[in-house]
Homo-oligomer: A and B are copies of this chain.
Amino acid sequence: MAEPTKVMCEACQHCGVKQVAQLWCNDCDEGFCEECIKSHQTVKILRHHSIISISNHFKISDISVCQTCLEHNKKLESFCQQHDQLLCLKCIQLNHSKCDNIIGIDDAAKGSKNSAAIFDLDEDIKNLLKNIDQGTVCCFDNGTAINNEEHKIKEKINETRDEINKKLDQLQEMILSDLTAKTENEREKLDEYTEELTKKEKKVKEIREQSSKIKEFASEIQVFVVMKNMQHTVNKEKEMMKLKLNNIPKGLPSLKINSELSNLTKNLKTFGEIYIETHSNPIPFIETKVQQAQLSIKLTSSN
């Protein structure tokens, strides 16, 4: 609200005197000085006018208390109880010509500061604020619920991922230990085979050693006899070796990835779906218990 400017006494101004107004007549809608208000109040028909201090006037000066019919630009002087509506003369002529309960605004306004209508208005305002508050609290709760759900969903996603990781870790460990076992088995076959070859080599090299010594130091008959035996042994070893060379362990490990897994990386399109679900907990609107109706009836019946 802007700082109110000074208001001058209209009555004094009429007499060419400049005097700051200390008071305000709500009914005349004019400011008065202390002197002029005295003469204002000596007039009988003005005696019941509502006089307030200038400072109080400023407190309500921003509230529209226009007593003019906005439609016909005439003073609102009457009230139709039937239509609960303020009327100018034109209003009466045009729209309320057949209404019974039209009274003067003075009568209608009588006691309105303490009327049931104003009590109802206060109640309505109070309840309206309660309803707004209900809505605000509900919004806050819904916001909290969204955050909670969001948090839960994130946790669920992480848990699901952890489970998948755990599962894949398990399966990976399984296949790796299977790989180790199977390759180890193949390596053992090769080791056994190589060990046999090493023994055989040692044996054949011994024969070669003996053969060369025999040739050097033994008699021809000895050489002949030994050579016959050796050739026999060597022939057997040759045959065995021929078979053995066809049976070298040739196993190589090979991998077939589970097609469910390879399809996964190709075909999986989503981790899942986020959808918005509407939960419905309707908020009961707080209604005002109407006293106006009773008043209306009272007014109507008393008319």
Bound-state Cα–Cα, A122 to B139, Å: 102
Q: List 28 A-B contacts (CB under 8 A).
A: A26-B217, A50-B222, A56-B216, A59-B217, A60-B217, A63-B214, A64-B226, A64-B229, A65-B226, A109-B220, A109-B223, A121-B234, A125-B208, A129-B204, A129-B205, A132-B204, A135-B241, A136-B198, A142-B248, A150-B180, A163-B265, A175-B273, A178-B274, A252-B278, A254-B274, A255-B274, A258-B269, A258-B271
Minimal beta-carbon separation of A293 from chain B (angstroms): 13
Q: Does A72 contact B (CB under 8 A)?
A: no
* Per-position binary interface string of chain A over residues 217-243, scored 1 when its CB falls under 8 Å from any chain B CB and 0 otherwise: 111111111111111001101100110
A25: nearest residue on chain B (CB-CB)? B219
When distances are taken between beta carbons in the complex, the residues of chain B under 8 Å from A211 are 118, 121-122, 125
Contacts A146-B190, A186-B146, A190-B139; A118 near B223 (Cβ below 8 A): yes
A57 close to B217 (CB less than 8 A): yes
Contacts of A218 in B (CB 8 A): 26, 50, 52, 60, 63, 65
Question: Which of B167, B172, B187, B282 is in CB contact (< 8 Å) with A264?
Answer: B167
Q: Is A17 engaged at the interface, CB distance under 8 Å to the other chain? A: no
Give the shortest distance, in Å, between A68 (CB) and chain B (any CB): 10
B270 touches A258 (CB 8 A): yes
Type the 1/0 row for A98-126, where 1 means its CB is closer than 8 Å to any CB of B: 00000001101111110001101110110
Instruction: Tell me the complex Cα distance, A84–B228, Å.
Output: 8
Contact of A228 among B60, B86, B185, B210 (CB under 8 A): B86
| Interface pair B167/A257, CB less than 8 Å apart | no
Question: Which stretch in A8-16, A31-39, A154-162, A294-302 binds the other chain?
Answer: A154-162
Whether the pair B175, A272 counts as a contact (CB closer than 8 A) is: yes
Contacts of A113 in B (CB 8 A): 215, 220, 223
User: Does A265 contact B142, Cβ atoms closer than 8 Å?
Assistant: no
Interface centre among A84, A135, A149, A208 (most CB of B within 10 A): A135
Q: Is the CB of B217 within 8 A of A125?
A: no
Q: Interface 1/0s, chain A 58-91, versus B by CB < 8 A?
A: 0110011111000000001001000011100000
- Cβ-defined contact, A86 with B250, below 8 A: no
What copy number does this chain have within its complex? Answer: 2
Count class of interface residues, chain A: 35 or more
**Cβ contact within 8 Å between A135 and B252:** no
Q: Which of B52, B229, B234, B245 lies in contact with A125, CB distance below 8 A? A: B234
How far does the Cβ of A124 sit from chain B's closest Cβ, in whole Å? 5
Whether the Cβ atoms of A160 and B65 lie closer than 8 Å is no
Q: Are A246 and B282 in contact (CB under 8 A)?
A: yes
Rounded to whole angstroms, the CA-CA distance of A216 and B26 in the bound complex is 12
| Interface pair B143/A271, CB less than 8 Å apart | no
Contacts beyond the supplied A67-B225, A135-B244, A175-B274: 18 A-B pairs with Cβ under 8 Å: A57-B217, A64-B229, A67-B221, A79-B224, A105-B225, A109-B219, A109-B224, A112-B220, A121-B230, A128-B204, A131-B238, A142-B248, A146-B252, A154-B179, A167-B265, A171-B271, A258-B270, A258-B271
